[in-house]
Amino acid sequence: MSLEELFKVFIGFLHRQYRVIVLVFLAIMALTITYLFTTPASFTALAKLMIDTRKVQLFQQQSVLGDAPPDTWLVDSQIEVLQSENVALAVIKELHLTKDPQFLWPKLGLFSAIKGSVLGLVDSVLRPFQSSSTSDPEFALTRAAVERFQSQLIITRAGLTYIISVGFRAQDAQQAAKIANAVVDAYIVDQLEAKYQATLRAGTWMQDRIKELRAQTTNAERAVEDFKTKNNIVAASGRLMNEQQLSELNSSLIQARALTAETKAKLDRIDEILRSDVEVPDATVTDSLKSEVINKLRSHYLDFSRQAAEFSAKYGARHLAVVDLRTRMQEIRKVIIDELNRIAQTYRSDYEIAKAREESISKSLTEIVSVSQTTNQAQIVLRDLESRAQTYRQLHDNFLQRYMETVQQQSFPISEARVITSATPPLRPSNPRTLLVLMVGAAGGVIAGFGLGLLRDIRDQVFRTSDQVKSILHTDCIAMLPKVKGPATSTSGQPKIDYGRLEHRIIKRDQCLIWTVIDSPCSRFAESIRAIKIAADLNTSVNGSKMLAFTASLPNEGKSTVAAALAQSIAYAGGRVVLLDADLRNPGLSRKLTPGAGVGLLEVLAKQATIEDALCLDPDTRLAFLPAVVNGRMPHSSNLLASESTKMLIERLRRSYEYIIVDLAPLAPVVDVRAITHLVDAFVLIVEWGRTKIDVVEHSLRMAPGVYDNLLGVVLNKTDLNMLRRHESHRRDYYFNQYYGRYGYLD
């Protein structure tokens, strides 16, 4: 839907519902103005406090209550504390508000008084069915004061800051400021009292806990000493004695093993030299032995060896001097061997001593290790006892220190909140806000008016425009007959004839709309009737005479009147037309036009009378009318309409008349219309404007598909032109008399 179409829909809605919108708007504005004039003025005093994060830190340790950082949840919690009954009761008690009649029973406006009266009436009705919790008047007065106090208290937070606004509304500006400041003071006192009580309870608990810890510490330390005595555990300079001995013996054992290895190496070397066949030990042996005797003997041996070599070269190997030198060399070698044996004995003795010392130290170490293992097993229990004693000692010291800080904090007046603005008596009333109330009332009136109008539009499930007929039923709206009150006046100026004195075969002229097309041919009603004839003439699917059947969904929608009016209009224009009353269940048209008729359609179909005997004529228009004379109920009327006699009658009438106008029964109550569908050229469905429900019409047409298939169109009858202008705004000028009357048409 385009913007232009939406605008048209909106304008149409305004045309239809503007009266409702205006009335609702005026009613709500009247209530708003009444509220403004009857509501007494009230004043709101405002104080501000801040949840301060920068507290005085006289004590470095954390306070008893925790002192959590003031995040958004904490600030919201403080708002709830400000609105709590503890603060309210403290202020009421401090200012004696239960004895202040201005606070308990302020002046009430009209609406408040009405509300109070209604609630009082309801309470008085329900009181016999309710059990009273208390009969104390003082308690009831206090509860009333608390409810009044909390209803007038205004607590808000400034955005996401730590600032909280505390406001109180009262009819006295001084009282409002006094109570607002009292609320702030009561809140701060409540915070301090909460901390004091928490610190006091913590201090009392700590005293008892310190006594328990002191006894537990003493018992644990005593258990440590008793265990040491029982297991011979002695410590010196922070170390156990067996641990020191074990360390020393281990060092001695290492040294002894080194000495044993050294002496064993020297002994092995001497034994190796003695087992060898060398004449004289080399220098490495003598250097390792470090013996002056062997060194001197070796030196002499070498000198004699050199001289023997020289003499052998000079005098020969058998020279006496050479033999003498070799003899001396043998003596020196023997002495050296003897010295080496003596040294070997010394090394062997040293080796035995070192080995014995090593074995002794090893044995002592084994004994100490055995003792240490036993001691180590005991030390496991000892360490557990010492750890427990140390833990109790630390807990005792910490609790003692914390207790001393808590005692100091009991008398330290510190709070997270501080007042940044004290409440002062306001100069102007805060309620009622005249401009705001008027704006809200106007907006509410417009919204309520539009809402009620929209609700009326939604609930208005009836046909009111030709566009609805086109979009919902998918057929044409061929005419919209206006609603005409009373009989029409003739434009010819001729006096009306009293037709009541004519014989029974003359149509009786009654004060109804049927003769409007004759008496007021230039009226909008007559013009709309002619539109039906034009639609029938333009129906090219019918050749020859046309049989038009008029029906409706429900009774009393005006189908009989429209059918008779169309027949009169065609006859008045000179056409040959016959009007047939085929509503055999309720032949209202026959009772209106020919109340004295003796024969009619039923007699013709039963061949008890001829058509000429049954037809009635209008002397003015020569309209032929075949009435239905029914003296009782006819449960099988549908069989009669579907009979061969009816078909033969219609064929005979087609040969004599150009138009056959048939008034049928309604679709919803009976099935007669469906029985005659095969004989009708086109159906005209009469829908009462603004009354017949859309779903009823849709259901009726679904149940009669033959009618819908041959439907010439829909006629909206009894149209209220004044109301129609609200629904079809694009045609509103068409319905004004000054435009319509230019062509000589009058209502």
pLDDT of residue 716: 93
Question: What fold characterizes domain 466-488+503-743?
Answer: Rossmann fold (3.40.50)
pLDDT at residue 487 is higher than 60 = no
In Å, what is the CA distance from 224 to each residue of 95, 369, 383?
65, 23, 9
Angle of helix 3-38 relative to helix 434-459, nearest 10 degrees, comes to: 130
pLDDT of residue 680: 92
272 CB-near residues (< 8 Å, 6+ apart): none
Q: Which residue has the tokens 């499930």?
A: 461
More confident residue, 541 or 330: 330
> What are 421's strand-pairing partners?
48
**Average confidence (pLDDT) over 50-56:** 65
pLDDT of residue 400: 80
148 CB-near residues (< 8 Å, 6+ apart): 103, 104
pLDDT at residue 723 is higher than 70 = yes
Assign 266 a pLDDT band (cuts: 50, 70, 90). Answer: confident
Pick the CATH number of 42-199+414-431 from 3.40.1440, 3.30.1890, 3.10.450, 3.40.50: 3.30.1890
Backbone angles phi, psi at 663, to 5 degrees: -100, 110
The amino acid at 286? T
- The DSSP secondary-structure symbol of 623 reads -
What DSSP assignment string belongs to 316-366? -TT-HHHHHHHHHHHHHHHHHHHHHHHHHHHHHHHHHHHHHHHHHHHHHHH
Most confident of the ranges 6-15, 512-521, 632-641, 647-656: 647-656
Assign 70 a pLDDT band (cuts: 50, 70, 90). Answer: low
pLDDT of residue 492: 38
**Average confidence (pLDDT) over 535-554:** 85
More confident residue, 383 or 641: 641
pLDDT of residue 494: 36
Assign 77 a pLDDT band (cuts: 50, 70, 90). Answer: confident
Most confident of the ranges 122-131, 213-222, 276-285: 213-222
More confident residue, 511 or 448: 448
Helices and strands per DSSP (H, E), number in the chain:
26, 14
Output the six-digit token pair for 128: 């016999």
Sign of the alpha-carbon torsion through 382, 385, 388, 389: negative
Q: Can you tell me the distance from the alpha carbon of 410 to that of 201, in angstroms, rounded to the nearest whole number?
A: 10
**Average confidence (pLDDT) over 354-360:** 85
Most confident of the ranges 119-133, 177-191, 269-283: 177-191
More confident residue, 200 or 452: 452
Percentage of the chain with pLDDT > 90? 20
Per-residue pLDDT tens over the stretch 99-136: 888 787 777 666 566 766 666 666 666 656 555 555 56
**Average confidence (pLDDT) over 38-53:** 84
Buried residues in 306-335 as b, exposed as e (16+ CB within 10 A): ebbeebbeeeeeeeeebeebbebbeebbee
pLDDT at residue 68 is higher than 70 = no
- pTM > 0.75: yes or no: no
Assign 661 a pLDDT band (cuts: 50, 70, 90). Answer: very high
Selection from 186, 201, 198, 199 nearest residue 86 by Cα? 186
Segments making up each domain of the chain, as ranges: 1-39+432-460, 42-199+414-431, 239-409, 466-488+503-743
pLDDT at residue 501 is higher than 50 = no
Task: Give me the chain's average pLDDT, please.
Answer: 80
Assign 636 a pLDDT band (cuts: 50, 70, 90). Answer: confident
Output the six-digit token pair for 669: 């109550």
pLDDT at residue 69 is higher than 90 = no
